[in-house]
Amino acid sequence: MLELQQCEFQCEIPPTELTVCLQYDDDLSCRSFNITEKVTISGKVDSWRDGDTCGHTWYDGQFKEQVFRNLTCPSEWCPMQCEVEETLKCTNLDDPSNNVITFWIYFALRMSASFFLASSFTMMVETSSKTLLQDLKELVTKVEIDLFLVMMLLLGCNWGFIESYLFVFLKELNAPNYLLGLTMTVGCLVGIPVMFVADWVVRMLGRPVIFIISFFTYTLRHFGYAYMANPWMVFPFEVLEVFTFQLMWVAGVTYCPVLAPKGLLATMTGLVGCTHYSLGRGVGSLLGGYLITVFGLPGAFRTFGLISLTSGVLYVLLHFCFLKKRLAAKEEENAENKEIEDKEEGKPMLEETCPAAIVLPATTANSRHTPDSTSTSTSL
């Protein structure tokens, strides 16, 4: 039902009656009503909201069992304003209680998904015989591991902010929906061939250099997005994802065996994955939302650009002034331990085979007393 009530004419000398005309094909049927009457016309009503403006679209009106296409008021010289019946208020379309329920359902599902994603990293290597708290204590009491985790957290914040708000920014630039999907497609397609040579690149450049490149590449991406006027300009910056995602993660994962104490490689790998993909992404999204509220989307991207630039410079100073020697000593220690383990694994094989090679000829010769047997034993 569409109910017009409390109608008022917006002119100095208003007419005494309200005239409403319903059009059916080429026929125009008009009927006059008293201004104080409530005019009720059956039909379909769609409610819509545009920002703070609420409205209703009325169509397929029915009057005296006929369906009409249009409703007009011929008194064009005197505009009329009516109130719509209360049941059509747009507040029913945007029930805050429904938003709260939706948010908490999404939050629970998203946290569960993040938990299982992060725990999957611990399935790659050997497990420790100690408790989880003992393992974590042994890890976080080492300075080089703490700095590595802080670095992965900062990189995760940058990644989480872009993942959460880049599409929002592109929509503000009136990007079509298919362009949003293309941004992910381009990043993945470029990253596939890079993964085949990622190990070689990491060995040639070194892991610290990859991390430094990642920070400065994030800086370039953030400032590029901030000053982007055309949404199609996003693709050159998406190509740079090979440095901030694929190569960075290969360098991070292969860094874990270097830093992890013996027996804690699984815990170390899982902790790094959680720090980057869960904690870092969450902090980046939360901080990004606050910055967007204060500075707007372009300002938030510029702020994150400054954060990544500062982080990159600090990591350069820390690495070359403090970490480089400690990490070199750690890698040398790991190489020595591996060499010792290899020798210990090979020692029992020598003890079993060498005596047999010496004793077997004499034993065989004495027992068989044949030249052929002696000859065979000698060849052994």
Residues of the chain within CATH 1.20.1250.20 domain(s) are: 110-331
Is the Cα dihedral 228, 229, 232, 233 positive or negative? negative
Residue 246's closest CA among 192, 180, 316, 165?
192
pTM over 0.75: no
- 17-36 CB burial, b ≥16 within 10 A, e <16: ebebebeeeeeeeeeeeeee
Contacts of 174 (CB under 8 A, 6+ apart): 231
Confidence of residue 89 (pLDDT cuts 50, 70, 90): low
User: How high is the pLDDT of residue 68?
Assistant: 60
Is the pLDDT score of 355 beyond 50?
no
Is the pLDDT score of 237 beyond 70?
yes
CA–centroid distance for 367 within its chain: 76
Contacts of 168 (CB under 8 A, 6+ apart): 297
User: How high is the pLDDT of residue 92?
Assistant: 47
The Cα 236–Cα 238 span in angstroms is: 5
- 119-145 CB burial, b ≥16 within 10 A, e <16: eebbeebeebeeeeeebeebbeeeeeb
User: How high is the pLDDT of residue 327?
Assistant: 79
pLDDT tens by residue, 316-325: 999 988 888 8
Please check whether residue 314 is in contact with residue 219, taking contact to mean a CB–CB distance below 8 angstroms.
no
More confident residue, 301 or 368: 301
CA–centroid distance for 182 within its chain: 16
Domain with residues 110-331, CATH architecture: Up-down Bundle (1.20)
